[in-house]
Structure 1
């Protein structure tokens, strides 16, 4: 079966940015920012996106383009050890878990977009959200969003994913800019900006570990790294593209849209709701619904806002679904339409559990996904640095410009040491918090370093078996 590719760099970047932006910036970002001290969270999030996210994107890009396969196929074709194929399988599992709760939120957004025409959520926003967020109706809207996503993915890379995101992404940006200008004129805008942008060093120092884990998880969530999305998308890239340039562009676009979303959400929460204390998964729906209810033309404004969020949700769901679809197409030679239909049925079941159970939804959306994404990206980095090694440098340099070429060796060793150590530190900090252990920073550092040494040891032992496959891939 002939494998598709992107028709242009613009198409690839817009699709990747669409995957990165999604609900991570418009739904999860305000929620996580509100629960983690506002500007304190924002600072760590920005540093992690630029300092860890861009190198991590590059690692995923190198694996994807080097193999021209899905995550499972990538590690199977490049690695001589089954240990690394397990990492590819983890990507497929993570994508299914992501879709399982993400599609529920997509259903909420679709419903709010439709209800904006009547103002159905205006009278009692909190009560309304509580009544529609879980149950049979939530499941029905979830299925509608999954069906739309499946139709786009089934149409293929060029006619489905690329064509759709080329329309959706400019629309999202234009509408967000308009909403940000409007939000700046609301009565509580100054308070919202202060919470969001004024740095609070005391809060950061007192809650550093908790904020760090949340910021790392959010950064990986919004950039779509750790789940295999960028491995899959990069597998459709031509060899003449500059991977460092593309990774930087995607990260910058993602940051810009995320910050822009905050400039919309927080002024409105302080103007028309009780501020960011209305946290949790429903923050977007409860706080902002009240804002639109109190404004002239609120139905129109609500419709525009939830249209933006709905488009963002679809662009992310498309990228998530493409991971297991590409796996079934590449590894089992299934028709794209057949693979998409089978996965629609699977996620309808796993997502249905989330649609009916708030406890399962919270576990998936707030805790499990952070841990899986951190583990995934740690594996990508160690594999790229220590297993691919020189082959990774060769792949990085294809199409690279004069600015990025001198950075290739520092990049390789940073993703093999410093960055995975940092990610493992946040992973163990999150696990300790989840199970209620009071682990000190020293213990977390030692545990992270020992784990990294173990992973590097496994990687180095597999190099001798990997080398023949690497040479064949290079040929």
Structure 2
């Protein structure tokens, strides 16, 4: 079976950015920022993206391009005779399925809010509306609709499905958010929202440094799609002429820019039309942004129009990430088990329909999976990939890093490998230990 590849470098970058630019940016990031004090969280998050996220992204790229395989096949191929590393890669495949299980539920919420925005049916009672539709059999029905859209793209393959779709969706996400941000920041009262978001106040860091670190690290890995093997899978379709340092930097910058842009929409709207953060948006709940912005839309002129644009952007972002989550296990079945793309996509979609339905019907399961479990699995997964890159691949990883890179980028290879071998895995292991301690003591 001939393995697929990207049609263009731009297609790969947009697909990778699309994977990273998802609900982590426009759903999770704003309410995490609200819960942890605004600008303080933003600063810590940006530092972790730069110092941990980008090197981790490059490590996954190195594994993927060198192996031309999915996460499980990649680690098994690059460490022949050592089955244990293949299991580390398989852990990433399982993580992708667990991620998609809760992610598809939130995707269903977005589909519903997008449709309801045309009439503004949730404006009158934002909290009550979310409480009614968030869990139950109707939530399952919209989860099915979201998964069907995801599967339709993955069925098309790498070029005709994923690459073609993300080339359309990514520009639309940026344009919609930029237009909304440009309008939001000019509203009377928006300045207070900008100050909360962008004016640095170190107090939240001093008050809860461990909690801030855990939250920002989990958010950074979630938004960059690290620790699950997405970037290993996407890089496996790459050619040798691509500069991995350049592509990784572009992807990280674009992903972070979209997250910051989403904040420039949400916080000015909340402060301009609701006078600030409510208990809902400050509480860090999964429905915080849905309820918070709905209240703002209710108060503004032409709220339905703004709401349609906002939820359209979120829907495109959600789809661009869910596509990558489904592609990971699909690639595993196609590469390792010789299953056709069609059968792999349909079979895995059916599996996630079941596991996602459990999340949609049981709020406590959803909360645990979407928060604690995902943070633990992503942190453990990326730590495994970094140790593999630094100690198993070693000089081969450095050679892959240098392949296609220019002189300046190549000069960064040795310090990158040193960090991947030592500092970054230690940081992730400490974060993992803190998360486990919080889980067991909580």
Normalised TM-score (structure 2):
0.97
Cα distance in 2 between the residues matched to 1:163 and 1:310: 17
Q: 1:200-215 alignment to 2 at 5 Å?
A: 200-215=201-216
Cα distance in 2 between the residues matched to 1:37 and 1:431: 24
1:431 paired to 2:436: yes
Is residue 273–residue 300 contact of structure 2 (8 Å, CA) maintained in 1? no
Q: CA deviation at 1:426?
A: 1.1
Is residue 114–residue 308 contact of structure 2 (8 Å, CA) maintained in 1? yes
| Aligned residue number for residue 426 of structure 2 | 421
Q: CA deviation at 1:179?
A: 0.3
| Aligned residue number for residue 9 of structure 2 | 9
1:60 paired to 2:65: no
| Aligned residue number for residue 282 of structure 1 | 287
Q: 1:243-392 alignment to 2 at 5 Å?
A: 243-273=244-274, 274-275=276-277, 276-277=281-282, 279-392=284-397
- CA displacement, residues 338-383 of structure 1 (integer Å, 9 cap, x when unaligned): 0000001100000000101110111011111111111111111110
What SS is found at the alignment partner of 1:186? coil
Q: CA deviation at 1:197?
A: 1.2
Q: CA deviation at 1:240?
A: 0.6
- CA displacement, residues 389-430 of structure 1 (integer Å, 9 cap, x when unaligned): 111111111101111101111111110100111111111111
Cα distance in 1 between the residues matched to 2:440 and 2:183: 43
Is residue 59–residue 381 contact of structure 1 (8 Å, CA) maintained in 2? yes
- CA displacement, residues 9-63 of structure 1 (integer Å, 9 cap, x when unaligned): 1000000000101111000101111111111111110001011111101100000
Q: Tell me, which stretches of 5 or more residues in structure 1 are unaligned? A: 438-475
Q: CA deviation at 1:258?
A: 0.7
Cα distance in 1 between the residues matched to 2:415 and 2:283: 43
Is residue 31–residue 282 contact of structure 2 (8 Å, CA) maintained in 1? no
Q: CA deviation at 1:294?
A: 1.5
Q: 1:176-255 alignment to 2 at 5 Å?
A: 176-255=177-256
Q: CA deviation at 1:255?
A: 1.0
Q: Tell me, which stretches of 5 or more residues in structure 2 are unaligned? A: none
| Aligned residue number for residue 166 of structure 1 | 167
| Aligned residue number for residue 43 of structure 1 | 43
Normalised TM-score (structure 1):
0.91
| Aligned residue number for residue 95 of structure 1 | 96
Q: CA deviation at 1:278?
A: 5.1
| Aligned residue number for residue 30 of structure 2 | 30
Is residue 272–residue 288 contact of structure 1 (8 Å, CA) maintained in 2? no
Q: CA deviation at 1:188?
A: 2.9
